[in-house]
Amino acid sequence: MKPALKKNSLNTYAKYSILFIIIFGFGFSLSFFVFQEIHETYYDSFKISNALEIFTNNLIVGLTIFFLGLISVGFLSSVVVFLNGYFSGAIFFSYEKSLGFWKSLQYLLFHGPFEILALLAFYVISLDISSRFLRFLKKSEINLMIKPKVKEYTIIMISAVGLLILASIVEYYVILLK
């Protein structure tokens, strides 16, 4: 039986995933220090209107991460990941001041892993494609080697969209922080 992902792909994806977690976590952590002075006004500005709007917003963020990663070899997508972590932290700490720690943690834990995994998938695929293209331009690889990975990339991207759908449903219908 052939493994779904080769060991080399898994190692590459793991490296990119660790980079994503560090950048996202740094943004999230930094917001703790910045948003100590913010009160309920930030909490009030993030009211949820419907699940489709949440999904659309998250999909735009994911596609932005993907396309900016392709054209900037990951630099601009890393900025978007940092800002997403920063604003996620800002929302969490704002909710914490208004709703309390446990309600804020509930909000984050129920939908956050799905959304973060989806954004991670967009980030990892964009870095993988752009780094392959960069190696091709530097002539360290004879061919681009993207065609054999199209099926793998497609499955991961479809899975990411599915995770975003699930995250938006959970965020709107389950958490009910309206």
Name the amino acid, one letter, at 160.
A
Crossing angle of helices 51-72 and 75-99, rounded to 10°: 150
pLDDT of residue 139: 74
Residue 4 lies in a domain: no
Residue 5 lies in a domain: no
Residue 38 lies in a domain: no
Instruction: Indicate whether 166 pLDDT > 90.
Output: yes
| pLDDT tens digits, 80-132 | 999 999 988 888 887 787 778 888 888 788 778 999 999 999 999 999 988 88
The structural domain count of the chain equals 1
Residue 148 lies in a domain: yes
pLDDT of residue 178: 47
Domain of 157, in residue numbers: 20-27+46-174
* Alpha carbons 121 and 138: distance in angstroms, whole number: 26
* Alpha carbons 61 and 64: distance in angstroms, whole number: 5
Residue 13 lies in a domain: no
Please name which of 96, 146, 100, 144 lies closest in space to residue 125, comparing C-alpha atoms: 146
Q: pTM for the full model?
A: 0.84
